[in-house]
Amino acid sequence: MQESSNKIIWITGASSGIGEACAYIFAAEGSKLILTATREVQLKKVQQKCIELGAECEILPADLSQTERLDALTDRALAFFGRIDVMFHNAGVSQRGKSAETDFSVDKKIMDTNFFAPVKITKRLLPVMIAGGGGTLAVTTSIAGKFGFPLRSAYASSKFALYGFFETVQAEYYDQKIRVVMVCPGRIKTNISCNALEANGIRHARMDDGQAGGIPAEKAARKIARAIRKQKPEVLVGGKELLMVYINRFFPGLTRRMVRKIRTT
């Protein structure tokens, strides 16, 4: 198991939910942190708590959907401490809209934030990590990246794509000490449904019943942080909904029938 003390960890989506909870765990363990999210005011609050826990902590507020700015953002992150040991691609935006009714601009924003941003940051970081002797890439996917899910066509697509890209990175650079940890949540009680985009791009602005009944972000974060320390290839996080992953593996036809009956709010 790798120790997280003195590790330099960059977390996106760090202003709330899983990202915030993981930041506090790593801060208490003595990591040096770089935190990114769109909400600067909330990010500063997380930064202050991390500092109170004894960590050195810098923030880089950014909208990751603006992919043309990500090379410069990555260079700024590297400039803080000279390297990144763990890159936790946690930021993401969900969706609430049927495929044919969702405006393409919404599909694009979701793909830019959830998929192309991690890809572009990783491409910039990989040569630096390899030159420094290796590193860990942790990536928040979803059980919706395992099978299609109603009202989530772009979201599920982005999560499927993350598996394809980062499992390939693992295969290509494993011998150069690059490790990938795929973080696959089910229902976690966060604001992801509140911030989801509806078909017209408007914020969903309410928590789904399933999300409200999810496990606390703090509980999820403890399992995720442990998986990152152990460099596990994949960690499933959630409750009984995770059974769907195993059902899909062995009985895909049953999964398709079950998914058609899933409540979508």
User: In three state form, how does the secondary structure of 160-211 look?
Assistant: HHHHHHHHHHHHHHHHHCEEEEEEEECCEECCCCCCCEECCCCECCCCCHHH
pLDDT for 90: 98
Q: What is the CATH number of domain 8-260?
A: 3.40.50.720
Identify the pLDDT of residue 211. 80
Q: What is the pLDDT of residue 82?
A: 96
Structure tokens given for 141: 């996917």
pLDDT score, position 60:
98
pLDDT score at 2: 59
Q: What are the tens digits of pLDDT across the range 41-90? A: 999 999 999 999 999 999 999 999 999 999 999 999 999 999 999 999 99
Residue 98 scores a pLDDT above 70? yes
Residues 6+ apart with CB under 8 A from 220: 18, 21, 185, 188, 237, 238
> How far lies 140's CA from each of 44, 159, 260, in Å?
22, 8, 25
SS (H, E, C) 77-126: HHHHHCCCCEEEECCCCCEEECHHHCCHHHHHHHHHHHHHHHHHHHHHHH
- Residue 3: predicted pLDDT: 60
In this structure, what are the phi and psi dihedrals at residue 23, rounded to the nearest 5 degrees? -60, -40
At residue 188, the pLDDT reads 96
Question: From the candidates 155, 163, 173, 174, which is the catalytic residue?
Answer: 155
Report the length, in residues, of the chain.
265
- Mean residue pLDDT of the chain comes to 95
Global pTM? 0.95
Residue 7 has pLDDT above 70, yes or no: yes
For the chain, the domains span 8-260
- Name the more confident of 226 and 211: 226
Is the pLDDT at 107 greater than 80? The verdict is yes
Q: With the C-alpha atoms ordered 216, 42, 185, 179, is the resulting torsion angle positive or negative?
A: negative
Residue-level pLDDT at 68? 98
pLDDT score, position 219: 97
**Does the annotation mark 246 as catalytic?**
no
Q: What is the pLDDT of residue 213?
A: 87
Integer angstrom CA distances of residue 103 from 9, 69, 90, 179: 35, 24, 25, 36
154-170 confidence digits (pLDDT tens) = 999 999 999 999 999 99
